[in-house]
Amino acid sequence: MEAVDGVRPEIARIFAAKEQRRQALARLPFPAKVRAVMQLQEMAATIMRARGKMVRPWAISGSSVENRSAPTNTSR
Amino acid sequence: MKRTLEVLNELEREGVFTRYAIGGAMAATFYTEPVLTFDLDVFVLLQSSATGLVSLAPIYDALRTRGYKEEQECILIEGVPVQFLPAYNALIEEALAQAREIDYEGVPARVVRAEHLIAICLQTGRAKDRARVAMLREQAHLDHELLADILNRHQLEDKWKLWTE
């Protein structure tokens, strides 16, 4: 891979791989994407709660978060 | 989310609203990589009351009867905070009418088409809408003829040029 706009080839390869990963994620079936969104919610909620912003990841029956205790407030 | 969609289908069958379709970030996620959101936006076509006013009260009443609780501007249906948005203009009405029929683990549902999502983002015009348009352009398989037609009919071509050129 050649350097593009001053980007070194190894960095360009990383960018290309990231782009491929995003395209692969976009091709996932919708239920798999919903599960990924729920994982993102869990990850983000930890950070957001630490900043004082209360959010509630989805508590869908059968999911790993089903029995999680709910926060007292939500924010979107 | 399967059970949430089943409840939405029940409400539609019972005539609580005429038609629904998933919009917002979850609809975008149908076409793109997963994006973080904490609620499920659902566009609904409602029957006008005798006074001509459109109200979400019948939806909230029907859901309260089923034991679901309100949380700020959402109502929590089977663990998912759902925000109902009545079709507030011609573009949303069209997006609802032409929404894509999907199957979610055996449950039928509707998702706003990617081309209508783009038009709605252009119309709404926030920074996150601009980011969503960029992502849909990159990752969704768009029908460019349909998109051009929608943008033309809803006077959104100038905004599209501004955001994409």
pLDDT at B7 over 70: yes
Asked if B139 and A57 come within 8 Å (Cβ–Cβ), the reply is no
Average pLDDT score over residue span B135-148? 97
- Nearest residue in B to A73, CA atom: B71
Tens digits of residue pLDDT in B19-42: 999 999 999 999 999 999 999 999
Stronger pLDDT, A13 or B52, i.e. the higher one: A13
Cβ contact, residue pair A74, B72, below 8 Å: yes
Report the number of distinct structural domains present in chain B: 1
Task: Give the predicted TM-score (pTM) of the model.
Answer: 0.88
pLDDT tens digit string along A24-46?
Answer: 999 999 999 999 999 999 999 99
- Identity of the residue in B1, B78, B139 whose CB atom sits nearest the CB atom of A26: B139
How far CA B17 is from CA of B42, B85, B87, B96, in Å, comes to 11, 11, 11, 12
Q: How far is B15 from chain A (nearest CA, A)?
A: 26
Q: Could you read off the pLDDT of B35-86 as tens digits, one per residue?
A: 999 999 999 999 876 666 778 999 999 999 999 999 888 999 999 999 999 9
How far is the C-alpha of B24 from the C-alpha of B132, rounded, in Å? 9
Q: Whole-angstrom Cα distance, residue B64 to residue B80?
A: 15
Please state, in angstroms and as integers, the Cα–Cα distance from residue A70 to each residue in A66, B40, B148, following that order.
Answer: 10, 18, 44
Q: How confident is the model at residue A62 (pLDDT cuts 50, 70, 90)?
A: low
Q: Is the Cβ pair B36, A44 closer than 8 Å?
A: yes
Instruction: Indicate the range of A16-30, A49-63, B75-89, B105-119 predicted with least confidence.
Output: A49-63
Domain that holds residue B58: 2-164
**CATH assignment at residue B30:** 3.30.460
B1 closest CB neighbour out of A23, A60, A76: A60
For chain B, state the CA radius of gyration: 16
Which pLDDT score is estimated for B50?
65
Alpha helices in chain A (DSSP H): 9-26, 30-50
Residue that the structure tokens 């038609």 belong to: B19
